[in-house]
């Protein structure tokens, strides 16, 4: 959440509730938080339950960028330590588009119309 809001313009952390002493999660970890990325609101939490699943590219965050500088910067930062699924390029459906999985396993589709 901190990483994404630091990279993406017009983004903000709107609320954070943390686990306290003797609660189900690790003290100080995120019980529930809300944040926005370019006006779209999201919720997240630090789960104290270990799951057998993770993120897959079947779920992607789609960001429409306003400038070429913005899409280049996001593509470079989000792909660092992750994986490129589609190179940043001019495609028939977009002036510039790229699809990456970031270092946390979250899939991002970046578009410059």
pLDDT in tens, 1-36: 999 999 999 999 999 999 999 998 999 999 999 999
**Mean pLDDT across 43-65:** 88
pLDDT in tens, 36-48: 999 999 999 988 8
Q: In the prediction, which pLDDT does 60 show? A: 94
Q: In the prediction, which pLDDT does 26 show? A: 92
What is the reported pTM? 0.85
Q: In the prediction, which pLDDT does 95 show? A: 95
Q: In the prediction, which pLDDT does 52 show? A: 85
Q: In the prediction, which pLDDT does 36 show? A: 97
Residue 63's nearest CA partner among 1, 4, 103 is: 4
Q: In the prediction, which pLDDT does 5 show? A: 97
Secondary structure E strands in 3-50: 12-18, 30-37, 40-44
The torsion angle over the Cα atoms of residues 40, 75, 98 and 100, rounded to 10 degrees, is: -80
């Amino acid at each position: 959440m901190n990483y994404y809001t630091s990279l993406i313009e017009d983004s903000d952390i709107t609320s954070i509730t943390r686990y306290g002493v003797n609660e189900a999660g690790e003290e100080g970890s995120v019980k529930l938080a809300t944040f926005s990325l370019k006006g779209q609101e999201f919720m997240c939490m630090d789960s104290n339950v270990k799951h057998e699943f993770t993120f897959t590219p079947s779920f992607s965050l789609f960001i429409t960028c306003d400038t070429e500088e913005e899409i280049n910067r996001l593509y470079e930062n989000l792909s660092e330590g992750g994986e490129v699924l589609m190179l940043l390029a001019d495609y028939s459906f977009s002036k510039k588009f790229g699809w990456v999985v970031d270092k946390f396993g979250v899939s991002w589709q970046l578009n410059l119309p």
